[in-house]
Structure 1
Amino acid sequence: MLYGILAATSALFLAAVLAALLRLPALRLGIVDRRWRRPMPLSGGVAVVAATCGVAFAGDWRGVTPLGPEAGRLLVAGAAVALLGLVADVRRVKARFLVGGTAVAAACVVPYEETGVAAGILAVGWIVFVALGFKALDHADGLAGTVGVVTAFGAAACAAAEVMDGLAVLLSVLAAALTGFLMHNWHPARVGLGACGALFTGFVLASAAVTTRAGQELGSGAGVLFALTAVVAADVVLVVLARRLSGRPLLRAAPDHLAHRLRRLGLTVRGASVVLGVAAFAGVLVAVLVHLGWIAATGVLWVAGGDLVVVLALLRVKPNVKPDLKSPGAPRRVSPQVTGQLRVRNG
């Protein structure tokens, strides 16, 4: 217990320090998200990955907080996905390569001997869905990090209940690293998570959840996995429906995500992140209670119903298709040529 707390504390401070130290090199090397009103350095993702992997592997090497074969394999695969995300941050990478690479990594960590082949293939698809969903969720300051912290603690509670100490420690370290990153990403953000950090976070959380639920009843297991990532699912479904109904390409960036529409309703950037963080906590709480057997598996239906209501309600909120030039760091006057080059953050 004491060593787990020490590991989490180390990850928090290491991620916070690395995010700050890598900010200037990221700017100079051009590892930035240019779809912001000003170039946003993506040092946060590298910091989260380095802190999580460094602290977890150091604890395992010293024998203080052993990961075990499952958590160790998961972390190696997650690091590979993070490297793929870093390439996507540095240069343009087609979506099919991100999907394919993440799927290959997911296929290497699914415990087929416990899930079976058919359920294992479904698990691979779900891991890819969550990983890419977290990448899409990184569309507002503090949002992906907040949801990631909440989900990590929920998944860690499930792993601890199954006496999977290595997974519980890994998830606690990830939650701490994301907390350190949030010190620089809370609005107004100074660093971003990027594809590197977002894919890594989503992949580790989804893979850990699949490993924890492997071998248990398929229906309730699917319900728990869904409730753990209800906000991610709602964001993806909302965007897909909105773009299909309006006839716009699915992969073209537009301000039609959850936080964008909440902003249109009058919430601030911080307010939208807090509201969605609370929603994520509600879903995670239901998932943990169902996993522990304290409430019936049908409790997940309330989470699904809530997601459906939110998606249908926010579909009626028209997104602001024009960039918001009043955001921090934006120029007071922008020529038509420059305005035409501005893009909204994240698709």
Structure 2
Amino acid sequence: MTAALALAAGVAGFLLTAGLMGPLRRLAVRWDLTDRSQSRHVRARPIAFLGGFAIVLGTLLPVLAVLGVSDRRVTAILVAAVAVAFLGLVDDVRPLPVATRLIAESLAAGLVVASGVQITFTGQWMDGPVTVMWIVVITNSFNLLDNMDGALGGVTVVTAVVLVGSALVGAQAPLAMLVFALACAALGFLTHNWAPARMHMGGSGSLFIGFVLTCSSIALVTGAGPDTICAGLLLPAFVAVVDTGVVLVSRLLAGRPLLIGGADHVSHRLRRAGIGARGVASALTVAAAVSGSLGLTVALGWASPLTVAAVAGSTAVILIGVMQGVDVYAPARPVSDLAQLTRRRW
């Protein structure tokens, strides 16, 4: 695989994803596949959510064109990620029970683990279940991060680009091709999703992105030492981990059900602090770029994995605590908007 071929595939993925947005938007409107019944986004009008389908194709087709099915791990990740994306699409159309989603996601994660992608903390059988659990949790954390125009798209682009660097440093060209294709597809989607968005990715896109990024991060540290594994897992998922931590802590402290949705994510809190939608998306993208770049310094051997992981973990805890000080439930929204916000299931 030459650099020119990979670049051409990435450009093709970008153009394919961006080009599919118009036809998919018209199809979604015709079939009434809009997010008007959801509360994932801050918006004034219903928007089609089939953008995830374009992200899947914009990632899948270039990788297959360049690699085929020659790499077992990349093939397993793609097959499982497509299955998870389909699950997300079904859930968008007809909401599934939480248990059904988690079981299906665990089976998909198990396929990836069977291909050799594992968190190798102990080298024993328990590494498999731990890996499955991490994939499912972080995949859904990325899914929950898709709650404002441009937020997850921006985070995906910078995270995937940094992972490309880590993969190349580790001489893992197939993984580099996979995350590069994802970065290009996410960038193509972002041209239609930056605020004010004309298209949303829906569960199919956010689950696909979360699954690919999480599995790729694990593949890059499989067989490494515990400190490198901790840094390699936390840094690419830093923004998603903080967001999920903020939500869980706030709901536990307030005695609210953990799986009943609400406008209590980091993005909503930043909006309450007076930052616009584009500013929030930009802030989250910059945070992902900084944390991902720290991961790249570890891959390059420029920084101690243990030190970087400790700093990142401490920063995450501090941010989760600080964010609790923003009262996202203060009465400032119209009643209709509040009703919409409380309908989210996660």
What TM-score do the two structures reach when normalised by structure 2? 0.91
Aligned match for 1:38, one of 39, 45, 49:
45
8 A Cα contact 1:255 1:345, kept in partner: no
Structure 1 SS opposite 2:197: coil
Alpha-carbon displacement from aligned partner over 1:115-143 (angstroms, at most 9, x marks no partner): 33222321211111111011100011100
Residues 27 and 266 of structure 1: is their aligned pair in 2 closer, same or farther, counting only changes over 3 Å? Answer: same
Residues 201 and 339 of structure 1: is their aligned pair in 2 closer, same or farther, counting only changes over 3 Å? Answer: closer
Cα distance in 1 for residues equivalent to 2:8 and 2:331: 46
Cα distance in 2 for residues equivalent to 1:321 and 1:251: 21
Cα distance in 2 for residues equivalent to 1:243 and 1:164: 41
Residue 194 in structure 1 maps to residue 209 in structure 2: no
Q: Percent identity?
A: 33
Aligned match for 1:9, one of 8, 11, 17:
11
Residues 168 and 340 of structure 1: is their aligned pair in 2 closer, same or farther, counting only changes over 3 Å? Answer: closer
Residue number in structure 2 paired with 1:140: 148
Cα distance in 2 for residues equivalent to 1:154 and 1:96: 33
Residue number in structure 2 paired with 1:59: 66
Residue 119 in structure 1 maps to residue 121 in structure 2: no
Residues 114 and 341 of structure 1: is their aligned pair in 2 closer, same or farther, counting only changes over 3 Å? Answer: closer
Residue number in structure 2 paired with 1:319: 328
How do 1:1-347 residues align onto structure 2 when only pairs under 5 Å count? 1-34=3-36, 35=38, 37-61=44-68, 68-110=71-113, 111=116, 115=120, 116=123, 117-297=125-305, 298-320=307-329, 324=333, 341-343=339-341, 346=344, 347=346
Cα distance in 2 for residues equivalent to 1:2 and 1:314: 44
Residues 16 and 112 of structure 1: is their aligned pair in 2 closer, same or farther, counting only changes over 3 Å? Answer: closer
Cα distance in 2 for residues equivalent to 1:251 and 1:37: 25
The letter for the 1-side match of 2:316 is D
- Per-residue deviation at 1:60? 2.8
The letter for the 2-side match of 1:18 is L
Cα distance in 2 for residues equivalent to 1:311 and 1:191: 30
- Per-residue deviation at 1:300? 2.0
Residues 256 and 342 of structure 1: is their aligned pair in 2 closer, same or farther, counting only changes over 3 Å? Answer: same
- Per-residue deviation at 1:261? 0.4
Gaps of 5+ in 1: 326-335
The letter for the 2-side match of 1:206 is T
The number of residues matched between the two structures is 332
The letter for the 2-side match of 1:49 is V
Deviation larger for 316-325 or 294-303:
316-325
Cα distance in 1 for residues equivalent to 2:169 and 2:80: 24
8 A Cα contact 2:118 2:218, kept in partner: no
What TM-score do the two structures reach when normalised by structure 1? 0.90
Structure 1 SS opposite 2:148: coil
8 A Cα contact 1:67 1:165, kept in partner: no
The letter for the 1-side match of 2:55 is V
Alpha-carbon displacement from aligned partner over 1:203-255 (angstroms, at most 9, x marks no partner): 01111111111111123212221011110000000000111111111121211
Cα distance in 2 for residues equivalent to 1:154 and 1:271: 22
Alpha-carbon displacement from aligned partner over 1:240-274 (angstroms, at most 9, x marks no partner): 01111111111212111001001111111110111
Deviation larger for 172-181 or 81-90:
81-90
Gaps of 5+ in 2: none
The letter for the 2-side match of 1:102 is E
Structure 1 SS opposite 2:126: helix
